[in-house]
Chain A
Amino acid sequence: DSGVTQTPKHLITATGQRVTLRCSPRSGDLSVYWYQQSLDQGLQFLIQYYNGEERAKGNILERFSAQQFPDLHSELNLSSLELGDSALYFCASSVAGQGLTTDTQYFGPGTRLTVL
């Protein structure tokens, strides 16, 4: 158990809908990262928050957004869902933000999203 929690574990929804994925980082970790894993794209970085502020953006679609709350949990919002958004969404957390290559990211169990 990494100490990172994600809910829900599975989510099935229809095209055009909006969903929210939730992540709680390990105790003491200030950074939260969101990744998407799909068969065709592999593991891709979406976005990073550090202590409530957006720190870095990756291949995140405009239909997707995220935030990190004062208690450091994070939510990833996916809207106008398409079939191609079906994937495993991971949250990871680490102690620091930028500047440290040694900062290990610990992953949650993931949320498997299926868009029908």
Chain B
Amino acid sequence: AQKITQTQPGMFVQEKEAVTLDCTYDTSDQSYGLFWYKQPSSGEMIFLIYQGSYDEQNATEGRYSLNFQKARKSANLVISASQLGDSAMYFCAMRISGYALNFGKGTSLLVTP
């Protein structure tokens, strides 16, 4: 079975600093996609970044980058220059062979002034 593990229930970071949110996954499939979503206190789920299992370069989207280490089965999200508006829950998810997303339990990030 495919599994996503986010071991950090809560993280703190100061404004303007970088923060890394951990995500490890378990699958025997060779083809899969890894996604990160942000859920602010208002509740909506916002897509942040995607990494494919065959992508050789780490994905980047603005201040978000994904540190993909395939051999270690990790897909950590790096947020650079944190802003107060980055305070939210962050979910790592995996998609196998085009099926539905399998989510981790999430990490709560609090950005302090």
Contact = CB atoms under 8 A, between A and B. Distances in A.
Interface of A: 2, 33, 35, 42-43, 45, 48, 56, 58, 88, 90, 92, 96-110, 112
Interface of B: 31-33, 35, 37, 43-47, 50, 52-53, 91, 93, 95-106
B33 A56 contact: no
B100 A56 contact: yes
A99 B45 contact: no
Contact of A45 (B91, B98, B102): B102
A107 B52 contact: no
Contacts of A103: 33, 95, 98
27 contacts: A2-B47, A35-B100, A35-B101, A42-B105, A43-B91, A43-B93, A58-B100, A88-B43, A92-B101, A98-B97, A99-B98, A101-B31, A101-B52, A101-B53, A101-B95, A101-B96, A102-B33, A103-B33, A104-B47, A104-B50, A105-B47, A106-B47, A107-B44, A107-B45, A107-B47, A108-B44, A109-B44
B83 to A, nearest CB: 20
A105 B98 contact: no
B29 to A, nearest CB: 9
